Structure 1
Amino acid sequence: MPATTGVTKRLLIDGQLVEAQQSYPSINPATGEIYGYAPDAGLAEAEAAIAAARKAFDTTDWATNAELRARCLDQLHRALSDNVEHLRDLTVGDVGATRMSTSGAQLETPIEIVRYYADLLPGYSFSEDRGTIEVRGANHLRWVEKEAAGVVAAIIAYNYPTQLALAKLAPALAAGCTVVLKAAPDTPLITLGIAELIAEHTDIPPGVVNVLSSTSVEVGELMTTHPDVDMVTFTGSTPVGKKIMAAASGTLKRVFLELGGKSAAIVLDDADFDMVAMMSAFAGCSHAGQGCAITTRILVPSSKHDEIVDKIAAMLGNVSVGDPEDPTKYMGPLVSARQRDKVAGMVDRAVAAGAKLVCGGEKVDPGFFYTPTLLTNVDPDSEIAQEEVFGPVLVVLTYEDDDDAVRIANNSAYGLSGAVYGNEERALAIARKVRTGTLSVNGGMYFAPDVPFGGYKQSGLGREMGPEGLEEFLQIKTIAKPVA
């Protein structure tokens, strides 16, 4: 790797921190300038990582030694906690996340996922008695054993890299799997920083965790098709998820997909509109709108449209936007010029198609900032109402009654999240009709390490976190023997 300035990181392969022949720059989204350099792994490094994971799974006791796994997860949690300030700096500089957000979903909350699985593992039963049956005059005892799925290829997105990495690593390791984790090309340094802690501060055996960064499409393709990989877990866009599912089908790999969303917040006519405005504005601007579960479609009663729009617009004006290093700023930049151009293009096309721009819709330099944006007069079937924007853009849609609200909310290829605001009994009845994997009623917070997260429809397959997240990485084996 050539000499560089700024933050530099290495790959983790077979227990060793190693360089690649090439490196590439990681850009600070707040300035547009180079923040550091990541190794650009090629096919040779990917092959070596997969081979190391295969060997570790097949020749060590990692898959069967739950006590070792719990100890290593405990060590990893301690290392993450002890080095949280270094990880915080990487998150702000590499991801463009605000310092404010690192106390929650960008960093400190994900670290607790490791703690959760370290604590869950000692009491988790990998065997379940199913009793005896009589067959042809003989009794047979049956039981079910849960075994590690094998070698896991884990590929993550750029937006919440620590959350995404640890929500895959921790349960996969708890289950006894070995892992090849590929960092997001746009935000590699924080993931490689976690790899350093694994190598230097835990007893995780060589090959159990391998971490790559790469700009090569071929590396991702290899990870999803390689015969020595047993399972693929991916977080990212739905179009890429479809390609991964197709690629993995050649060897019938197990696939977990956490994909996009276009979630709806249904506002009932008896809701607290001030709370709705606050929740909608600050959720929509969380990490500059770069979140798959954000409620970006706001469904309001036709008779209350103007009142609610005015309140949301006013609240968007209260969102503090600026340098993510400033601890008072709530919203920072988008991850890249490419992503900002995508967001601006979708807003411009929506306005050209007849949507009303209430506020926002502006690029701000330097860096990749985009102002909090609100659109009304939006066709529910239009691009801006159907496709994931991944920027700080909210659209307001109107409905006539509760059934109409549910119909519009379900009028989406996605089904990741949602919200309902209003009378609790009425809101819960509506919540149960909305086809999504997670749903908040009156601001209820579901997102935590002990609760499963995932979606319906084209928002993905499977669940992360909670006991369900562990079970995604387990195979089921039934055993029987005759008994007297």
Structure 2
Amino acid sequence: MAFAVDRMLIDGELVPAGTGRTFDNINPATEEVVGSVPDADATDVERAIGAARRAFDTTDWSTDVELRRRCLTQLRDALRAEVETLRGLVVAETGSPVMLTQGIQLEAPIGFFDHYIDLLESFEFERTVPTKELMGSRVDRVIRREAAGVVAAITPWNYPFYLNIAKIAGALAAGCTVVLKPAPDTPWSALAIGAIAAAHTDIPAGVLNVVTTSDNSVAEILATHPDVDQVTLTGSTATGRKVMAAASGTIKRVTLELGGKSAAILLEDADFQAIIPGLAGGVCAHAGQGCAQLTRMLVPRARYEEAIAIAAAVMPHVPWGDPTEPGTVMGPVVNARQRDGILRYIQSARDEGGRIAYGGEPLDREKGYYVPPTLIADVDPKSTVAQEEIFGPVLVVLPYDDEEDAIRIADNTLFGLSGAVFSADTARAMRIARRLRTGTVGVNGAQWFDVQSPFGGYKQSGLGREWGNEGLEDFLEVKTIAFPAAD
């Protein structure tokens, strides 16, 4: 390995935890310890925040656009050079199927750097507005967009490398300095970025810091510290509420990408045989550990049993098991707690009168945190499994009576992250898509996931957006400067 994943990056140096403590990184497919990582305490986090503060206040990182472009290009190129080593790390700590590393888990986010590198060539950080007479004098005005300051980036374990890049790429491009804190289940995906950045880029000391800790109370310092100007979090809605509350004490800017309970609406004229296999298989990708996965399938009541039969016939053929095998679609979930939580959700469906149309039973495996593909029917749209984010390979089928009923059911959750509409009549599907209260919608299988597409949610699915121009603007403050107009 050309870089180490047993050191944190603080103030430009790769360092252990100040106390020397470590915690284990566990492979969820084998339950084996694959490595030890630094277990930071409050002192380490304070050092990282202090370094980020100094770098923002005393270097020209926030104002030198060309420096930022060069450093982002260097980081992209260095990550790309280490892609095969990174692939093994990502699979080992996430349990993600290796096929996903060719896209969202690894290679796609490395390529996504190009978006910000290119955007910095043309983005208007300062613009003028027309001369105007105000309060008896003629004035000119400049509207400036300036870096928000020190950003605390907190990321989860499901797509860790992708989400680490999503946070730091936008923040660094905007001119912010960053303290990145990954989930304790997947620390390597962050430590690797720190090590590579330290070795292969001109990023000034303190601009990018990476700290790993097993202690949530230590992580909370990032949301409350007065020297942190903005928090960006991807995580559960429950975690988002806590971070938002913690950040309120200092009125920090907060960007939250939270949970989802996304609905796929199949209209009566949709081709069920062509569409449902993809939905039933898609909910199993990476064991259902994706916030935007389509976990509710809404179908006309007259075609309800037909839809269940098609989905139930597909699920036994989903390739699952060893994530290092090229054909595997579904590996394990991240840990025993997550596995047990998913099984409790499935039991709640039974308890509330639901039908387990496929799966639902614990898998008989000696090692690995595996949950079977599961199909649930005959539950109320207000039931637990139809309302709460399960974060596992579980698809809930719900019948609706008419178009208005379908929209009502789709929107009747706390969430609004993603969705889909299928119909032979594209104009009709587009009309429904425009009415859904959700951040992204795919019509007839069209893909929205792309670096140019802003991603984020409505309602309790979050605040703000990643990627697109909006992903840069989320890390910028806006300043107006007025001055006397020239005669």
Scaled by the length of structure 2, the TM-score of the pair is 0.97
Which one-letter code corresponds to 2:467 in the other structure? Answer: M
> C-alpha offsets along residues 364-403 of structure 1, whole Å, 9 cap, x if unaligned?
3220111110000011111110000000000000001000
- C-alpha separation between the residues in 2 aligned to 1:195 and 1:32? 26
SS in structure 1 at match of 2:213: coil
Which one-letter code corresponds to 2:444 in the other structure? Answer: N
- Structure 1 position 396 matched with structure 2 position 397: yes
Asked if 2 retains the 8 angstrom alpha-carbon contact of 1:131 and 1:143, the reply is no
Quote the residue 1:377 is aligned against.
378
Shift of residue 110, structure 1, vs aligned partner: 1.2
Which one-letter code corresponds to 1:18 in the other structure? Answer: V
Equivalent residues in 2 for 1:67-86, closer than 5 Å: 67-86=66-85
Asked if 2 retains the 8 angstrom alpha-carbon contact of 1:279 and 1:443, the reply is no
- C-alpha separation between the residues in 2 aligned to 1:155 and 1:351? 35
Shift of residue 137, structure 1, vs aligned partner: 4.7
Equivalent residues in 2 for 1:30-429, closer than 5 Å: 30-364=29-363, 365=365, 366-422=367-423, 423-429=425-431
Quote the residue 1:432 is aligned against.
434
- C-alpha separation between the residues in 2 aligned to 1:263 and 1:110? 23
Asked if 1 retains the 8 angstrom alpha-carbon contact of 2:5 and 2:191, the reply is no
Shift of residue 159, structure 1, vs aligned partner: 0.3
Asked if 2 retains the 8 angstrom alpha-carbon contact of 1:63 and 1:175, the reply is yes
Which one-letter code corresponds to 2:253 in the other structure? Answer: R
Quote the residue 1:16 is aligned against.
13
> C-alpha offsets along residues 158-215 of structure 1, whole Å, 9 cap, x if unaligned?
1000111111100100000000000111111121111111111111000000001101
Quote the residue 2:26 is aligned against.
27
- C-alpha separation between the residues in 2 aligned to 1:313 and 1:70? 50
- C-alpha separation between the residues in 1 aligned to 2:24 and 2:197? 23
SS in structure 1 at match of 2:453: coil
SS in structure 2 at match of 1:414: coil
Asked if 2 retains the 8 angstrom alpha-carbon contact of 1:156 and 1:182, the reply is yes
Asked if 1 retains the 8 angstrom alpha-carbon contact of 2:5 and 2:192, the reply is no
SS in structure 2 at match of 1:164: helix
Which one-letter code corresponds to 1:429 in the other structure? Answer: R
Quote the residue 1:451 is aligned against.
453
Shift of residue 337, structure 1, vs aligned partner: 0.7
- C-alpha separation between the residues in 2 aligned to 1:139 and 1:92? 62
Which one-letter code corresponds to 1:15 in the other structure? Answer: G
> C-alpha offsets along residues 251-286 of structure 1, whole Å, 9 cap, x if unaligned?
000000000000111010111112321221222011
- C-alpha separation between the residues in 2 aligned to 1:347 and 1:150? 44
Identity of paired residues, percent? 54
Which one-letter code corresponds to 1:468 in the other structure? Answer: E
Scaled by the length of structure 1, the TM-score of the pair is 0.97
- C-alpha separation between the residues in 1 aligned to 2:419 and 2:202? 41
Quote the residue 1:464 is aligned against.
466
> C-alpha offsets along residues 400-419 of structure 1, whole Å, 9 cap, x if unaligned?
10000000001101000000
Which one-letter code corresponds to 1:457 in the other structure? Answer: K
- C-alpha separation between the residues in 2 aligned to 1:478 and 1:323? 56
Which one-letter code corresponds to 1:374 in the other structure? Answer: L
- C-alpha separation between the residues in 1 aligned to 2:472 and 2:371? 38
Asked if 1 retains the 8 angstrom alpha-carbon contact of 2:109 and 2:165, the reply is yes
Which one-letter code corresponds to 1:277 in the other structure? Answer: I
Long gaps (5+) in structure 1: 1-6
- C-alpha separation between the residues in 2 aligned to 1:31 and 1:276? 34
- C-alpha separation between the residues in 1 aligned to 2:137 and 2:352? 74
Shift of residue 324, structure 1, vs aligned partner: 0.4
SS in structure 2 at match of 1:296: strand
SS in structure 2 at match of 1:74: helix
Quote the residue 1:479 is aligned against.
481
Long gaps (5+) in structure 2: none
Which one-letter code corresponds to 2:362 in the other structure? Answer: K
